[in-house]
Amino acid sequence: MEGVWVFLLAFLTCGYFALAGFDYGVGVVLRLVGRDERSRREVLRAVTPFFLGNEVWLVAAVGVLFGAFPRLEGELLSSQHTVFVVLLAGLVCFTVAVQLRSPGWDFLLVGGALVVVVGWGVLLGRVLGGPVWLWGAGMPVLFSLHGAVFLAWRLSGGLRERAVRIAGLLVLPSLVFVVAAVVTAGSVPVPAFGVTGVVAVGLLGGVWATLRSRRHLVAFCCSAAVCALPVLGVFGARSVVTVSVMADVPTLRVLTWAAVVVVPLVLVFQWATWRMSRAAR
Per mean pLDDT, which range of 160-164, 210-214, 251-255 is the poorest? 251-255
pLDDT average, residue stretch 184-189:
63
Give the tens place of pLDDT for each residue, 141-155: 999 999 999 999 999
End-to-end, the C-alpha distance of the chain in Å comes to 42
The per-residue b/e assignment along 113-148, b for 16 or more CB within 10 angstroms, e otherwise, is bbbbbbbbbbbbbbbbebeeebbbbbbbbbbbbbbb
Choice between 239 and 43, residue whose per-residue pLDDT is larger:
43
Contact indicator for 149, 46 with CB cutoff of 8 Å: no
Task: Using the predicted structure, report yes or no on whether residue 281 has a pLDDT greater than 60.
Answer: no
Task: Using the predicted structure, report yes or no on whether residue 12 has a pLDDT greater than 50.
Answer: yes
> Going by C-beta distance under 8 Å and a sequence separation of 6 or more, which residues neighbour residue 43?
26, 30, 33, 34, 151, 155, 159
Task: Using the predicted structure, report yes or no on whether residue 189 has a pLDDT greater than 70.
Answer: no
pLDDT average, residue stretch 180-192:
69
Task: Using the predicted structure, report yes or no on whether residue 241 has a pLDDT greater than 50.
Answer: no
3-class secondary structure per residue, the chain = CHHHHHHHHHHHHHHHHHHHHHHHHHHHHHHHHCCCHHHHHHHHHHHHHHHHHHHHHHHHHHHHHHHHCHHHHHHHHHHCHHHHHHHHHHHHHHHHHHHCCCHHHHHHHHHHHHHHHHHHHHHHHHHHCCCHHHHHHHHHHHHHHHHHHHHHHHCCHHHHHHHHHHHHHHHHHHHHHHHHHHHHCCCCCHHHHHHHHHHHHHHHHHHHHHHHCCCHHHHHHHHHHHHHHHHHHHHHHCHHHHHHCCCCHHHHHHHHHHHHHHHHHHHHHHHHHHHHHHHHC
Q: Which of 49-53, 59-63, 67-71, 182-186 has the highest mean pLDDT?
A: 59-63
Task: Using the predicted structure, report yes or no on whether residue 220 has a pLDDT greater than 90.
Answer: yes
Rounded Cα gap, residues 26 and 47, in angstroms: 8
Q: What is the pLDDT of residue 191?
A: 58
pLDDT average, residue stretch 273-279:
67
Q: Rounded to two decimals, what is the model's pTM?
A: 0.89
Per mean pLDDT, which range of 60-69, 120-129, 165-174, 233-242 is the poorest? 233-242
Task: Using the predicted structure, report yes or no on whether residue 190 has a pLDDT greater than 60.
Answer: no
pLDDT average, residue stretch 178-193:
71
Confidence of residue 218 (pLDDT cuts 50, 70, 90): very high
Task: Using the predicted structure, report yes or no on whether residue 92 has a pLDDT greater than 50.
Answer: yes
Which CATH code, of 1.10.10, 1.10.287, 3.40.30, 1.20.1630, is assigned to 2-250? 1.20.1630
Confidence of residue 186 (pLDDT cuts 50, 70, 90): low
Confidence of residue 65 (pLDDT cuts 50, 70, 90): confident
The conformational region for residue 130 under phi > 0 = left, psi -120 to 50 = alpha, else beta, is beta
Delimit the domains of the chain by residue range.
2-250
Task: Using the predicted structure, report yes or no on whether residue 204 has a pLDDT greater than 90.
Answer: yes
Q: What is the pLDDT of residue 160?
A: 96
Contact indicator for 66, 73 with CB cutoff of 8 Å: yes
Q: What is the pLDDT of residue 166?
A: 97
Rounded Cα gap, residues 97 and 99, in angstroms: 6
Rounded Cα gap, residues 280 and 124, in angstroms: 37
Q: What is the pLDDT of residue 53?
A: 75
Q: What is the mean pLDDT of the chain?
A: 85
> Going by C-beta distance under 8 Å and a sequence separation of 6 or more, which residues neighbour residue 98?
23, 27, 44, 48, 51, 109
Q: What is the pLDDT of residue 240?
A: 45
